Structure 1
Amino acid sequence: MAPGGVPNSAASGGRPPGGAWPDPAAPGGPATGAAPRRAPRSLPPDLPRPPTASQAGVLRPEEGQRHFALTRPAAHPGLGTWIERYWTVRWSLPPGAPYLSSVLTHPAVHLTVESGDGPRHGLEMPEALVTGVVTKRFDVLLRGEGRVFGVKFRPGGFGAFTGQDAATYTDRAVRLTEAIPDGAAAIRAAILGADDDAERISLMDEFLLARRPAPDPSYERLLEIVADLLADRELTSVQAVCDRYRVGPRTLQRMFRRYVGVGPKWVLQRFRLHDAQLMLDSGEVDDLADLAARLGWFDQAHFNRDFRDVVGVPPGAYAARRS
C-alpha cells in the first residue's frame, strides 16, 4: 500500500523548543517575507528536523476511516534526519466489498512490509517493497484482510540514506531485496512474524539504525529548502526559491532529481495542492477563485485543471462530495 499512510507534520522529532519552525498545517501558513533560514549543516542525527510533510494526502479521509485503521508511530530519534515517521494500516472488509483508497502523494519514498489478500502493485503478498515518488494519484484496492507497516522517508531521505539516485525509483515499486539487498529478507520475515506494532517498530529501528550513513551537507541543504517550500505559501515559483537560496535553476533541479526523484517545480505544486486539499477537506473554502489566487495559481481555470489532473475531479466536485 506504500504511500497510503496519512502524513503527519509532527512526526520524527516534532519542533524544537520555542516553536522556531512554522506549522504548515496552521490556517494561512506561517508569516512570509522573513529572511531565509540558514540552519546549521549536518546536524547531529538525533536532533529534530523541521517538518517536511503536511497532514494532507489521503483523499476523502473521513470516508477512509470507515474502512481502515491508521496509526502513525514515531521512528527512533536517531533516524530523524532521513525518516519522517512510521505508519501502519490495517483493514478487515466484508467479502465482496473492496475499498479503493486514493492518495495525493508526497515527494517521499516509502519502505513497506505488506500482507493480506493480493496481489498489490503487481506483486503477490506478503512482500517487502520500496516505492518511489508517485507522480500521479496513488490508488490501491483494499480487499479482505490485510496489514501494512510503512517507513516514510523525508523528501530526499531515501536517496541520502542509501546513496542511490532516487529518480530510478520514481513511479516504481520494487522488492526491498532489489533496493537494499543487505538484510532485506531477514527484516521482511521479522516484521511479518512480529506480534504487535511495538515489536515491529523496534525491529525496523534496529534495521535502519545499523545502516545509518555519514552526514551529507548537500542533503541537509535540500531539507532546509524543502521545509521552506512546505511552510511558506508565498513561495509559488522555482525562481523565487532560487532567489531566496542563491542557487541556480539547473543546480536546484539536479539536487532534487538526485535526492527526491522529481524536480522542484513538481514538489512546489504538490505542496500547494496539499494546501488546497486540506482546506477543501476542512470545509473552510467558500470561494475557489480566491483559494487559487492565495496558493499562487494564475487563475481558477488553471487551478481547476491542475487539481483535476491529479485528483481526478475538479476542486468544486471534490468539496461537494465531502458535503
Structure 2
Amino acid sequence: MAASTNATGRVPASKGLLQPEEFARRVRFDEVPASGPAAAWVERVWSASWELPDGMSATTSLIPHPAVEISVERGQLARAGRDRDGVWLTGVVTSRFDVTQFGSGGVLGLKFRPGGFAAWSGIPADQLTDRVEPAGDRLPGMDQLAHLPLVASESASVMLDSVLAGAGSAEPIPALVEDTLALLAEPVLTRVDQLAHRCGCSVRTLQRTIRHYVGVGPKWLIRRQRMHDAVAALDAETGEGLAELAARLGWYDQNQFGRDFVRLVGSTPSAYRDRTRADGTR
C-alpha cells in the first residue's frame, strides 16, 4: 500500500485500531484530549484525513469502544450508515467497524466517554446502539459544525464548546458506570457476577444501568475489553504465546480465543500477528 501524501505516522492512543502501522502510513491523524468542563462527558476530539493516489483505496478497521461519537465527515469514504457529507451521530458499534478511504477526505470526531453521551443528552444510549443518524435529528445546532476544519488541534475548542452549549440539563456520569469501567482494566474480571460484586450492586442493577448509559450490557464490555487487550498484545509483539495470552485474558482455552478473535477481527490470532510483523518490516 502506497503511503498517503499527508500521513503523520501517528495512531490513536486508545486501543482498538487494527494494523496500526498500515494506518500510520496513509492517514494524517490528530487527537486532543478533552479539557475544561466538557471533559465531564467527552474523552477526546480526533481527526483523520487522507490523500490517496487515483484508483487506490484502503480500509481502516477498528474494534470499537463503548462510546457514542459525533463526527463531521467530508470527502471520499464509505462506512455503514453514511450516505453523504455531513455531521453524524454514531452509537456504540457492537461489531468490527470498517471505513474505506479513497481519493481525498477527512473526519473530525468528538468521542464521548462511555456513559457520557446519555448523561449529557438525556437520550438513553441503547436507543443508538448500532445506529448512525444525522446528528441534527436529535441534537439541534450540531449541523453548524459541518464546515469546521478537519483537524483536531484547530477545531477541538469549537467542538467542546458545542457540547457545553447543549449541556443545560446534563448530569454527571453515574459512579456505578465509572466504577465498572475502571474495574474492566483488571484481566482477572471475566464474569458479570464478579463485576457486580466488586461494584457492590446486583447483577440486574448493573445490567440495567450500563445498558441505559453505555448502550450495551456488562458482558459485552468485559469481552470487548479483553479483545482490546489481546489485539494490543499482538501488536506489541511481546513474545507471549497464544495459549498463554488466552489464559491470561480469561478465555477458557486457545480454541475459544481463536473463534472469538476470528468472529470480530476477521482473521486468526496467528495470522494477525504475522501480518503485523510483516507490516513492521516494510
Report the TM-score, using the length of structure 2 for normalisation.
0.89
Equivalent position of 1:269 in the other structure: 223
Contact 1:119 1:125 in 2 (8 A): no
Structure 1, residues 74-103: CA drift from partner, whole Å, max 9, x if none?
223211121111111010001110001110
* Residue number in structure 1 paired with 2:85: 126
Q: Which amino acid aligns with 1:132?
A: G
Distance 1:67 1:255, change over 3 A: same
Cα separation, 2, equivalents of 1:280 and 1:119? 28
Structure 1 residue 118: Cα displacement = 4.5
Residues 1:146 and 1:80: Cα distance change in structure 2 (over 3 Å): same
Contact 2:74 2:105 in 1 (8 A): yes
Amino acid at match of 1:211: G
Q: Which runs of 5+ in 2 are unaligned?
A: 1-9, 278-282
Pairing partner for 1:221 from 171, 176, 179: 176
Given candidates 229, 236, 242, the residue that maps to 1:288 is 242
**Structure-to-structure mapping, 1:85-234, within 5 angstroms:** 85-118=44-77, 120-180=79-139, 182-189=140-147, 191=148, 194=149, 197-214=152-169, 216=171, 219-229=174-184, 231-234=185-188
Tell me, yes or no, if the aligned pair for 1:117 and 1:125 is still in contact at 8 Å. Answer: no
Map Cα deviations across residues 206-263 of structure 1 (whole Å, 9 max, x no partner).
211112255646623311221221x212211111111111211111111111011100
2:259 paired with 1:305: yes
CA distance in 2, matches of 1:130, 1:215: 18
CA distance in 1, matches of 2:135, 2:251: 39
The one-letter code of the counterpart of 2:46 is W
CA 217–150 in structure 1, closer or farther in 2 if over 3 Å, else same: closer
Tell me the CA shift for residue 203 of structure 1: 1.5
- Read off the aligned partner of 1:208 and give its amino acid letter: V
Q: Give the secondary-structure state (helix, strand or coil) at the position aligned to 1:320.
A: helix
CA-CA distance at 1:195 after TM superposition: 8.3
CA distance in 2, matches of 1:187, 1:93: 25
| Structure 1 stretch displaced more, 219-228 or 259-268 | 219-228
| Mapped contact 1:238–1:265 kept (Cα < 8 A) | yes
Partner residue, 1:249: 203
| TM-score normalised according to structure 1 size | 0.78
Q: Alignment partner of 1:292: what SS?
A: helix
Name the Cα RMSD after superposition.
1.9
Distance 1:204 1:59, change over 3 A: same
> What is the CA–CA distance in structure 2 between the aligned matches of 1:116 and 1:165, rounded to whole Å?
31
Question: Are residues 147 and 111 of structure 1, via their aligned partners in 2, closer, same or farther at CA, if it must alter by over 3 Å?
Answer: same
- Greater shift, 89-98 or 214-223, is seen at 214-223
Asked whether the equivalents of residues 285 and 291 of structure 1 are also in contact (C-alpha less than 8 Å), the reply is no
Deviation at 1:278, TM superposition (A): 0.6
The alpha-carbon distance between structure 1 residues 160 and 6, as it changes in their structure 2 partners (threshold 3 A), is farther
Q: 1:146, CA displacement in angstroms?
A: 0.6
Percent sequence identity over aligned pairs: 41
Figure out how many residues of one structure are paired with residues of the other and give that number: 268
**Structure 2 CA distance for partners of 1:217 and 1:157, relative to 1, 3 Å:** closer
In 1, the alpha carbon distance for the partners of 2:56 and 2:25 equals 13
Alpha-carbon distance between aligned partners in 2 of 1:263 and 1:195, rounded to the nearest angstrom: 33
Per-residue CA deviation, residues 254-308 of structure 1 (Å, 9 max, x unaligned), is 1111011100000111011111111100111331111111011111111111111
Aligned equivalent of 1:321 = 275
63 and 198 in structure 1: CA distance in 2 versus 1, 3 angstrom threshold: closer
From the superposition, tell whether residues 289 and 213 of structure 1 become closer, same or farther in structure 2 (CA, over 3 Å).
farther
Cα distance 1:195–1:311, how it changes in 2: closer, same or farther (>3 A)? Answer: closer
Output the CA distance in 1 between the equivalents of 2:152 and 2:259: 41
Structure 2: which amino acid aligns with 1:249? V
Shift of residue 119, structure 1, vs aligned partner: 5.2
Q: Which runs of 4+ in 1 moved over 6 A?
A: none
